[in-house]
């Protein structure tokens, strides 16, 4: 009696642990998975770092407006004076055997051919480029997360369908075994059912392994715990709404896309680089001043200085002219790329919209196929009981039912992914 009591307590403890584990699992929605990926994925972290680096580069470029300040100092000692004077025969004076000098000076550029101004503008463009690239990374990470999510949904739904088929096969096995014992049907029918059961076992192993891999991939991509990862989604019999409300005119949507905005920034950057190339061949004007100290003379000397400078890169004109021409051609290339890629983006939008509509129609057909295959299975079940169809006919009907259910979940998930792709290509997240 004590042994039985211990067994009961042990089983109760196991059940409680299982209940706690189940309730401890967090079921993540699609939006929650995407948000986790946007927070934890390494690609997003790197994109954030790239954006911060661009901001630091902008701050560095701004310091070019500040005066250039430098301090210098020197000291020397010699075995004899640096200045030798002969006052009379056999009467020499040697001075400057040692001394120190130092100073601090500052220069402020007044005109640099626009290089400082354009350099700061270029740094601003660099920030905008990295921001747009960050947005593109968000889109790609969101799409990849959604692909993993719907892959899990697809595999789980296929397992649900497989479970239904397994129940049908088990019921059929019981009926056929009884019929064989009664001598109503041959053993061949029983063997066919057994073979089909073996196929379902093999399919289950494949689906469960694929599901485990998909869950691990989603967990790694989103930074969630793989051992507790569970998604919250269940398909129903209702078809999703038509995608008509999602449509955007491609010409109007073009300006809203991150890809097109990035192309525009590339054009802007190339034009600024052209201006900077021209500025390198223009005069540079600066003013400055400083403070100097030295003790070379019997009395220490301290004084202030001021100056203005102008420089003109005469010899740089030869190579500079070629650099300017090269940069001008680069501007034309980026402008051509803007036009060409803009046209391709419009084509992508149109193709994506066609893909959304095709996916929806495929889903409708698949949904209708489920209804037809379900009725076909019901009829063949009745026909087999009545002895008017063979076991092969009945098993084929079960297969068609399973295939139609699998096809529906495949077209359903494909439709959801196509919607995401269309939203992104038209500038919406």
More confident residue, 352 or 315: 352
Mean pLDDT, residues 245-255 taken together: 96
Answer whether residue 9 is part of any domain. Answer: no
| pLDDT above 90 (res 4) | no
Question: What pLDDT is recorded for position 420?
Answer: 96
- For residues 154 and 313, which has the higher predicted lDDT (pLDDT)? 154
Q: Per the domain annotation, does 165 fall within a domain?
A: yes
Looking at 12-157, which runs of residues are DSSP E strands? 26-28, 68-77, 83-88, 91-95, 98-111
**Residue 9 confidence (pLDDT) above 80:** no
Query: Out of 16-25, 145-154, 215-224, 320-329, which region has the weakest mean confidence (pLDDT)?
Result: 16-25
In a domain? residue 342: yes
Helices (H) and strands (E) in the chain, counts: 9, 8
pLDDT at 383: 95
Total domains in the chain come to 1
Q: What residue spans of 303-315 are helical by DSSP H?
A: none
Rounded to whole angstroms, the Cα distance separating 98 from 410 reads 90
CA atoms within 13 A on the CB side of 99: 18
Reading the block at residue 251, the tokens are 């010409």
Q: Is residue 106 part of a domain?
A: no
pLDDT at 289: 85
Does residue 72 form part of some domain?
A: yes
* DSSP line for 160-220: HHHHHHHHHHHHHHHHHHHHHHTTSS-HHHHHHHHHHHHHHHHHHHHHHHHHHHHHHHHHH
pLDDT classification of 133: cutoffs 50, 70, 90? very high
- To the nearest whole percent, how much of the chain has pLDDT over 70? 87
The pTM assigned to this predicted structure is 0.83
Range of the domain at 216: 27-78+94-100+113-284+316-425
Structure tokens at 114: 């626009």
Q: How far apart are CA 332 and CA 316, in angstroms?
A: 24
| More confident of the two residues 321 and 36 | 36
* Domain CATH for 39: 1.20.1600.10
Q: Which pLDDT value is given to residue 362?
A: 98
pLDDT digits (tens, 9 = 90+) for 146-197: 999 999 999 999 999 999 999 999 999 999 999 999 888 889 999 999 999 9
User: Closest Cα partner for 160 from 241, 236, 228?
Assistant: 236
> Is 107 a domain residue?
no
pLDDT class of 318 with cuts at 50, 70, 90: low
- Is position 19 within any domain? no
Q: Is residue 257 part of a domain?
A: yes
DSSP state of 242: P
- Contacts of residue 257, defined as CB under 8 A and 6 or more positions apart, other chains included, come to 345, 425, 426, 427
């Amino acid at each position: 009696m004590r042994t039985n009591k211990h067994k009961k307590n042990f089983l109760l403890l196991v059940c409680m642990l299982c209940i706690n584990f189940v309730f401890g699992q967090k079921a993540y929605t699609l939006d929650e998975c995407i948000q986790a990926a946007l927070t934890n994925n390494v690609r997003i972290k790197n994109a954030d770092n790239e954006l911060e680096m661009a901001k630091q580069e902008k701050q560095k470029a701004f310091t070019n407006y500040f005066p250039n300040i430098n301090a210098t100092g020197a000291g020397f000692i010699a075995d004899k004076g640096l200045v030798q004077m002969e006052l009379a025969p056999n009467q020499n004076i040697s001075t400057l055997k040692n001394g120190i000098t130092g100073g601090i000076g500052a220069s402020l550029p007044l005109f640099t051919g626009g290089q400082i101004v354009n350099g700061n503008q270029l740094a601003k463009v660099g920030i905008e480029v990295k921001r747009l690239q960050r947005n593109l990374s968000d889109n790609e990470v969101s799409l990849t997360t959604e692909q993993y999510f719907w892959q899990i949904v697809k595999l789980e739904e296929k397992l649900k369908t497989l479970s239904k088929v397994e129940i049908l096969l088990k019921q059929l096995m019981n009926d056929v075994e009884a019929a064989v014992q009664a001598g109503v049907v041959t053993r061949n029918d029983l063997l066919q059912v057994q073979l089909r059961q073996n196929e379902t076992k093999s399919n289950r192993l494949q689906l469960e392994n694929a599901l485990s891999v998909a869950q691990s991939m989603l967990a790694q991509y989103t930074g969630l715990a793989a051992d507790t990862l569970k998604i919250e989604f269940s398909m129903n019999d209702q078809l999703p709404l038509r995608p008509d409300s999602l449509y955007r005119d491609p010409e109007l949507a073009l300006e809203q896309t991150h890809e097109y905005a990035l192309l525009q920034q590339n054009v802007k950057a190339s034009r600024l680089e052209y201006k900077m190339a021209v500025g390198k061949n223009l005069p540079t004007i600066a003013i400055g001043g400083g403070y100097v100290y030295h003790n070379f003379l019997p009395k220490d000397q301290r004084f202030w200085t001021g100056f203005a400078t102008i420089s003109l890169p005469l010899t740089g004109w030869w190579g500079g002219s070629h650099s300017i021409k090269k940069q001008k051609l680069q501007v034309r290339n980026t402008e051509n790329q803007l036009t060409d890629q803009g046209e391709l983006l419009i084509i992508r939008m149109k193709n994506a919209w066609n893909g959304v509509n095709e996916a929806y129609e495929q889903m409708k057909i698949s949904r209708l196929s489920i209804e037809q295959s379900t009725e076909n299975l019901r009829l063949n079940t009745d026909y087999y009981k009545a002895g008017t169809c063979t076991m092969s006919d009945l098993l084929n009907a079960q297969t068609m039912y399973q295939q139609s259910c699998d096809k529906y979940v495949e077209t359903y998930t494909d439709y959801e992914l196509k919607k995401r792709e269309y939203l992104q290509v038209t500038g919406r997240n």
